[in-house]
Structure formats: C-alpha cells, structure tokens
Structure 1
Amino acid sequence: MEKMPAWADVVLIPLISLILAAAISALVILFIGESPAEALNLMVTGALGSTYGWGYTLYYATNFIFTGLAVTVAFHARLFNIGGEGQAMIGGLGVAVACLYVPWPHWSLALVAACISGAVFGAAWAAIPAWLQAKRGSHIVITTIMFNFIAAAVLNYLLVNVMRPTGSMDPATERFAETIHLPTLHELLAPFSIAFSKAPPANVSFLVAILACVAVWALIWRTRLGYEIRAFGHTETGAVYAGISPVKIIVVTMLISGGLAGLMGINNVMGEAERLVLNATEGAGFIGIAVALMGRGHPAGVFLSAILFGFLYQGGAELALWTSIPRELIVVIQALVILFTGALDNMVRMPLQQVFAALRRKEST
C-alpha cells in the first residue's frame, strides 16, 4: 500500500478520528436526554468564549504539553512510557523542594531552579524502569505503571509525615514565598494593554511549555542523539549494526521523558497551587498518552492536541456545572479519542490510503 502525503497523516487522520469520537459522544448525550448542539455550544462558550475560559483551557493544556512531550520522546524510541503520572508527581516534589528551602529573591531565579529540580526528580523516577528495561529486559509498561503507584505512596507519606507544617491537618506543604509567585497571563499581557481575566491559573509556565516543544523538535530532528533515538525506534537490529548502544538509548530517552513529565510541576505546583498537595497531577500523566497519540509524535501536533484536551477539560467542567451531563462524559470523549487515534487507527488510515492510491493512479493515466 502506497504511503499517504505527510499532511494527511498528521492532520487528516486525527481530524477524522476526532469527528468520529465527537459523533459517538453526541449519541451518548442524546441518549441521556440532552441536546448535543447545546452541549457543544456550552463547551465552546465556557472554554473559548472568554479570557476566563481561555485561562483555564491554557492552564490544563500546559500540563498536557509537558506530559504529551514526555510520551512523544519515548515513542520515538518505541518505548511506551506510561509512567508520566508518577514522574510528574515526583517532579512536583522536586519543584516544591526548590521553592521551599531556598530563599529566592525573584520568581525568575526560582523558576529556573524549579525547572531544573523538577526535571531532575522526574528523570530520576524514570531512571530505574529505564535501567530495568535496558539491562534486565523488564517491560517498560509494567515497571512504569508500578512506579506510578509507588510515587503516589511516597508523596502521601512525605506530605503527611515530613513536609506538612506543624499544626496543619491538610496533607500539603506550606505556601511558597510571595517573592516566587509566577506571573499569570493577566500580569504578562497587562503591559501590552491586552485585557485578560485575573482569575484563571494560566501563568508563565505556558511559555516554558512552548519552549519545551521547540527544544524537543530540535532534539529529535536536529541532533545526533535524536537521530539515534529515531533509528533505534525504527529497528533495534539496524541501530546496533550501526554502532548505537540500546542501553544508552533506552536510559537516555527515558531520562529525557521523565524530565519533561517532571517539568509539569512548575505549572500545577509552583504556578497554580503555590504549594505541593496530594493528587496535584489530576491524571495529566495519562492524558499525555492521548495527547502524544493524537499529536502523531510531533511537538507541533502535541501542542495542538494539548489545547484540544484543555478545551475538553474546561468545557466538561462547564457542562457539569450548567447541565445534567456528568463530568465523567469528558472521560468518555477522551477514551473515544484514544480509541480512534490509537487502537482503531487503521480503520481510518487504510481507507484513506486506498483513496490516495486511487487518486495517484488516476493522475498517472
């Protein structure tokens, strides 16, 4: 079967998959007695119809960009890093350590330190599964899933017994110093006379996430290491023949992947909560898998996919607030998107391949 144009693989297939997921979701909404058109209008208005909605959409999207990039980097080496949730938890711990125990005079210095600390902690949490895969053959999916649960237990212990302020009943750290408060989008845009709501938690971390997209693109397609990662992902045998070490690629790729997931902590821990709390990740590590699948392993696709899932999260919250549609419906929509972009990818891909092959034959005659 002939290959499709690159634009069709990157844009057309995900778009068709999204339309199919939306169509089935509409049927579910009809089944529970609500209007799909009204539900869509409420979601669009709530998530995109105001700077308030955009603020929350971009806040969620920032989390998903980091975890989506983490999964994407691993995908290029054919490693299914399903441990983004745990790596983001431990990365958040690293961010909290950097913010709590050093008296930073300005948020910019604290942000740099938090990025480094969060990435190091996230990478460290990915290092053991990486070593087990590279040296012992333990499947990365199994070990990273197990490490998600271990990360939750470790964080629970630390917040309850070690990092909780004296006299507090809340399993969380104390709030970070006012001097390291990250600027919100309202504060960033105000000097340009651009009005933006003060309420949403979207902050300068969104710009860091965009820089991370550029950095991952440069890494994968403009460096020797990126070439080795892609070569190993395409064929391990060929990579070994070319002198590429499987152990090196597996470990380094997972360290980068874990570091990207750990960076999420600058948004939800440092930027939004301004302290470390239980369940701060809120499932963003798992959403990153869907974001990476729909983004087709490209940082630009991950960015757009993260915006879509941010829209679904914020729009779903509006649905639950103003209609009888349960918040869990968004989980159904996410599952359908994952189903069509992942497990049922060939259901869309193969007919399109036949269409493009027929068009080429027609042009040649």
Structure 2
Amino acid sequence: MSPAGGVPVGETGMAGAGLDPESIPPEERARLPKPPERGPIGSTLIAIRDGNALTTILAVVIALVVGAILIAATNPTVQSTAGYFFARPTDMLSAIWACVSGSYLALFQGGVYDFSQANPLVALQSLGHSIGFATPLIAAGLGIAVAFRSGVFNIGGQGQVLMGAAFAGYVGFTWDGPPIITLIVAVLFGLLGGGLLAGLVGVLKARTGANEVIVTIMLNYVVYYLLDFALQTPLLQDPKSVNPISPPENANAIFFNVLPAEYHVNIGFVLAIAATFACSWLLSRSSIGFKMRAVGENARAARVAGIEVDRVFTAAMVISGVLVGFAGVYQVLGTTTTGFTSGVDAGIGFNAITVALLGRSRPWGVFWAGILFGVFQAGGYTMQAAQNVDINAVQVVQSVIVLFIAAPPLVRWIFRLPQPKGVVA
C-alpha cells in the first residue's frame, strides 16, 4: 500500500495521492503516522484547496449579490428615490433594477460578448480582451497552485513576476536576433529569472527550515526596489528617457498574435493553455507529481515512505517560479512592449493567489478562474464607462469571492447544504 519502500505513508498522504485509506486493513491503519499539526495559515489554505466545486460556484453567486447591493447603494438615482420610498416604493425598486442589471449587462458586454454589435466576430472581441487580461493570471495562478499542492505557500508572486519581466525584457531590448530564436531566448531567460528567485526560497526552506511565507514576502520588496534602482541606471533605463523605464522591445522578441490584432490574443495564451495541460499531467500522472501531492498532504508520512521531502520542496518552488515568471514574460513581451517600469507586475503576483484559491489549486480550475477574473477586469472598465460604476466595485466582488471560498461552512449554512464527506470544514 505504500509508494516506495513498502512503508505506509499515512491516511492523509494516501488520500492526496489518489489512494483509498478505507482499503487499508484496520490494524495497518492504526499504525499509520498521524498528520502533523498545521498553523492557521496552512490549515486555512488546505481547507480552501480541499473544498468542493459547488462551494466555489455559490461563493461567486454570493459575491455577485454583494456587488449588486454595493452598486445600488452608491447609485445617485437609488439614493434620491430612497428619500420617498414609502410614498412610491416602485421608483426605488425600478432604479435598483435599472442600475444593477445595466451594470452586470455592461460587465458581460465588455468581458464576454458585446451583443450590441451586429457582427458576431466583432462582438467576440470582448472575450479576446478578457483572455488578454487572463493569460498572465492563469500562468501565475498555476505556479502558485503547484506550490500549494506541494505544501509550500508561495506568496512571492510579485517578485517572481518582476524577475521574469526583467530577465525577458533585458534580452528583448538588447538582442535583435532571428525572429523565432530571439523570442524563444527571451522567454527562456524570463522563466529562468522566476525559477531562480523561487528556487532560492525552496533551498532556504529545505536547508535551513526558513519560513517560505516570510521569505517570499520580503523578497517581493527586495526585487521591487532592485528593479526600480536598475531602471535608473544604464543597465535597464532607456537612454532616450529621463524616467525609470526600459527601452522598447525589439520586434523579433514580441509575442505574435494568433488572432487578428483587435482580439488581443497572442501566442502567450496558447502557451498558457499548454502550461495548464503540462501542470495537469505533472500533478496527476508523473512520479514527481505523486511525490508533490504526498508531501503536500503529509510531509512527515512522505518522509517515512522514503520521499526526499527537501528536494520536493525545492523542485516545487522552482516549477512554481518558472510558471509565475512566465506572467512577467507575458507582461513585457505581450503587453507593455514599448518599455516596462517597476510596476509591470500590475498586481498579478497577488491576484494569482486569489486565482489559485478560486481554482482550488487544480490546473483546470485555475485556468477557468483566470478567465473569470479576466472577464471581471475587461468588463469592469466597460461597466465603469457605461454605467459610471467605480471599478473598485469589481475588486470588491473578487475579494468577496475569496472571502466566501475561505469560509465554506458559511456558504453551506447560507444555502443549507450538508457537510460533504471527507471535506475539511
């Protein structure tokens, strides 16, 4: 019943590895190592990861309801009709319906399908914009998810995005080689940047027992200020500008479009889909993926089973950093191709944590969570322009989604759902 050496790995580790603990004889199960104590952060993230899909969907529904309340409460027409609600209640109710339905309709038009356009191909440009916003979130979310599944909490997405952007951007504006070769080299250097930074954290955790949460958060600041400094030196600063901005990328290093330019979908999205397939295979089919899942469920039991936990931690962080670094690559080679600044991460590093949690740290869950957040971002601007709704309302909806995902018992209580068997509350 053990993956290596004939030694049982513990009930939690067996379940996480896809094995059924109930198939173990009771006398053998009694001798299995007990799962280690987890801190509050670890316990919360594990609970989020192990929740079911229904809870995620219902959390989105609740968030949309909360967003509707916020939109209605801040609408001037609703506020004015509230003053004579008891005299003519229908005025206020009509105003609420008009502002909420109009806002969410604008969100859909700006993020999915603009049905005001007669040409269906033109109408689908909205979805293309959403995909453009979603691509770096998918890549970075996959990286965070791989770390979470391995029992490592990578909170250093911002720093790894910046490292990936700096490495790829430097190659992109300093070397103008053959078209495809230049692009490949720039991408590889960006992946190297993210992998090196995250790998450093993995080595520190494996060799010294350093807390990866603290180390990754502190490295975010280190990398940010180093990049800000480098952008004011000849190393990265555009010699034609007095501002801390890099030179524009060479044409041969820019992601090429896979659809017409107005759709804003380039080869980066294809690579993000490939990364999703690769992560799915890695975690479910490969030997290292089995070890990652076993360590993520119960590191002590995995060590007893003969798995080299320290190496798994390091490998997980390197893979995580490579994926998060690709988000930085996308930013400089697919979005800000005219030059990047120290703000090139655009909050992707932290939003990726939200995407990973929403996707339950499952590759395809992360993919669709990234698409959802891309729709929110693209549609939010349309909602702001068409309905004069503050873009922060969309941010509130995203935050509330995570809030309720982090509290599955509350979601089940609201909808009177039973406790799923085997799910940690």
Q: TM-score, normalising length from structure 1?
A: 0.87
Please give the secondary structure, in 1, of the residue aligned with 2:344: coil
For structure 2, the residue ranges without an aligned partner over 5 or more in a row are: 1-14, 16-49, 76-95, 115-122
* Counterpart position of 2:280: 217
* Counterpart position of 2:172: 99
Paired residue type of 1:170: N
Between the aligned residues of both structures, percent identity stands at 27
How much has 1:100 moved relative to structure 2?
2.3
Among 186, 199, 202, the residue aligned to 2:265: 202
Among 338, 359, 365, the residue aligned to 1:295: 359
Paired residue type of 1:125: L
Question: Is 2:145 the counterpart of 1:145?
Answer: no
Structure 1 runs of 4+ aligned residues shifted over 6 Å read: 350-353
Please give the secondary structure, in 1, of the residue aligned with 2:243: coil
Question: Is 2:250 the counterpart of 1:177?
Answer: yes
Question: Are the aligned partners of 1:205 and 1:266 in contact in 2 as well (CA < 8 Å)?
Answer: no
Q: 2 CA distance for matches of 1:247 and 1:313?
A: 38
Q: 1 CA distance for matches of 2:168 and 2:190?
A: 5
Among 285, 303, 308, the residue aligned to 1:245: 308
Among 331, 344, 348, the residue aligned to 1:280: 344
Q: 2 CA distance for matches of 1:354 and 1:10?
A: 12
Question: Are the aligned partners of 1:111 and 1:266 in contact in 2 as well (CA < 8 Å)?
Answer: no
1:15-94 correspondence runs (5 A): 15-33=57-75, 35-48=99-112, 49=114, 50-94=123-167
* Counterpart position of 1:111: 183
Q: 2 CA distance for matches of 1:182 and 1:257?
A: 22
Question: Are the aligned partners of 2:228 and 2:341 in contact in 1 as well (CA < 8 Å)?
Answer: no
**Distance verdict in 2 for CA 1:302–1:243, change over 3 Å:** same
Q: 2 CA distance for matches of 1:201 and 1:125?
A: 30
1:196-218 residue CA offsets vs partner (Å, 9 max, x unmatched): xx345431100000000011111
1:112-136 residue CA offsets vs partner (Å, 9 max, x unmatched): 2222111110011112222222222
* Bigger Cα displacement from structure 2, 263-272 vs 305-314: 263-272
Among 387, 390, 412, the residue aligned to 1:326: 390
1:116-135 correspondence runs (5 A): 116-135=188-207
Please give the secondary structure, in 1, of the residue aligned with 2:271: helix
Question: Are the aligned partners of 2:183 and 2:254 in contact in 1 as well (CA < 8 Å)?
Answer: no
**Distance verdict in 2 for CA 1:152–1:200, change over 3 Å:** farther
Q: 2 CA distance for matches of 1:87 and 1:349?
A: 36
Which structure carries more helix by proportion? 1
Question: Is 2:56 the counterpart of 1:14?
Answer: yes
Q: 2 CA distance for matches of 1:223 and 1:290?
A: 26
Report how many aligned residue pairs link the two structures: 339
* Bigger Cα displacement from structure 2, 223-232 vs 156-165: 156-165
For structure 1, the residue ranges without an aligned partner over 5 or more in a row are: 188-197, 358-365
Question: Are the aligned partners of 1:43 and 1:315 in contact in 2 as well (CA < 8 Å)?
Answer: yes
**Distance verdict in 2 for CA 1:354–1:125, change over 3 Å:** same
Question: Is 2:381 the counterpart of 1:312?
Answer: no
Please give the secondary structure, in 2, of the residue aligned with 1:118: helix
**Distance verdict in 2 for CA 1:125–1:57, change over 3 Å:** same
The structure having more radius of gyration, on CA atoms, is 2
Paired residue type of 1:74: A
Question: Are the aligned partners of 2:51 and 2:408 in contact in 1 as well (CA < 8 Å)?
Answer: no
How much has 1:18 moved relative to structure 2?
0.6
Question: Are the aligned partners of 1:71 and 1:257 in contact in 2 as well (CA < 8 Å)?
Answer: yes
* Counterpart position of 2:38: none
Question: Are the aligned partners of 1:10 and 1:301 in contact in 2 as well (CA < 8 Å)?
Answer: no
How much has 1:352 moved relative to structure 2?
7.1
Q: 2 CA distance for matches of 1:356 and 1:71?
A: 26
Question: Are the aligned partners of 2:170 and 2:236 in contact in 1 as well (CA < 8 Å)?
Answer: no
**Distance verdict in 2 for CA 1:202–1:280, change over 3 Å:** farther
Q: 2 CA distance for matches of 1:164 and 1:209?
A: 29
Question: Are the aligned partners of 2:191 and 2:329 in contact in 1 as well (CA < 8 Å)?
Answer: no
* Counterpart position of 2:228: 156
Please give the secondary structure, in 2, of the residue aligned with 1:172: coil
Q: 2 CA distance for matches of 1:353 and 1:231?
A: 30
Q: TM-score, normalising length from structure 2?
A: 0.75
Question: Are the aligned partners of 2:166 and 2:190 in contact in 1 as well (CA < 8 Å)?
Answer: yes
Please give the secondary structure, in 2, of the residue aligned with 1:277: coil
